[in-house]
Structure formats: C-alpha cells, structure tokens
Amino acid sequence: MSTIQNEYTFTQDESATIKDNFSDHLDWEKSVFDNIKKSIIEHLRKEQYNRCCYCKKELGFDLKNVDIEHIIPKSSYPQFTFYGRNLALSCPGCNTIKGMKNVLNNNIVRYPQTGNKFKIIHPHYDRYSNHIRIEKDSVYIALTAKGSETITYCELFRLQNVEKRAKKFQAIQQSPIAALTEALRTCSQNERNDFLDEIRKILK
C-alpha cells in the first residue's frame, strides 16, 4: 500500500482559479493560490499521517515546517504543478536537498500511472517499507535500487547526525554532569586547569 491513498481533488472553484491564474511554474508563488495550498496541506497531512514522504519524520505545524513537494519538479514539467498525484508533503530539508533533480527514468508526455517510471519512491504509488527500512529512527537502509536513490536524492544519511546532535543537546540540558563534561571538553587548557584546581580545593 502506498503512503498516499487519496490524492488531493481540486474543487470547481479551485480549478477555475488555477485556469485563470496559472501559465508557468513560477506562478505557483502567487498569493491567489494560498488558500488552495492550505487545503492541499490539510488533506495530505491526514493521508501521510503528518510525516514527510521521504524521511518519515513528523512534520511541524508552522508553514515553514512543511513543504508541498512536487515529485516531478515543476520547473521541468510545469503542466504537473497542480496535478494531484504529483503533490505530497515533505519536510523543508528533504524538499530543499532533492531540489530539481530528475526523478524520471525517461522523458514523459503524460503523467505515469505507476511508480515504475520513477527513480525514487513515489508516495502515491510505492509502499515505502518495500524500499527503505528505518532503524533507530534515523538510520536509513536501502532495500531496493529505488530506496537507495531516495536516500541519495534526499541525503537521508544526514538525519543520523542530526539525531545524534539532538540527543546530545537534550542530554546536556537534562544532566548537570553531562553539561559539565561538555564544558570541560570544549574549554581551553588554562580554563580546564583552573577548574581542576577548584575541584581539588573542594575535595580537600
């Protein structure tokens, strides 16, 4: 089963707005589409269980914490900018890193009806777990070539370091000993010597 079972369906009014105001992929940024984008996000949050389609991390609720991802880049195929099956939600990190990379095996005229023509996992067509296994919340293991390409395209290996830094910071915040250890590790030699002198005085 794919990540997204039901693509976003545009209302008649939304379709009319798109028809009247869209001619190029750059038009995506027009404010006239803001309410349509909000509706897309609301729909896809439910479909995707509020998870990024590529890294599966939970999405935030500020608009800056979630992006509407064009699976086939809208700059390459502007005709699919408002095509429901080309839209998914991603975290800003995955969306930015994936960027305008070519995700297709071959050039197309019509939008593919299966995931076979895509180099990466397509959230409308592919079951994520068939292609990638996630261990310890941030270790991404490719099970197929498509999984490997998805990891590479979005640099999912970056998240292991992010997770380590987050846990380290959390430990420092929660533990005075950890904070002290980190301070000793990063301070100068003179500061370290002064600190040890103070410890010796206390222990006498």
Per the document, the length of the chain is 204
Distance CA 83, CA 74 (A): 10
Residue 130 scores a pLDDT above 90? yes
Q: How far is CA 91 from CA 8, 66, 77, in A?
A: 18, 5, 22
pLDDT recorded at residue 203:
73
Q: Give helix then strand counts, H and E, for the chain.
A: 7, 4
**Does this model's pTM top 0.75?**
yes
Q: What percent of the chain has pLDDT over 70?
A: 89
Compare 95 and 188 and report the one with higher pLDDT. 95
Q: Give per-residue pLDDT as tens, 100-109.
A: 999 999 999 9
pLDDT recorded at residue 21:
98
Query: Where are the domains positioned within the chain?
Result: 12-157, 159-203
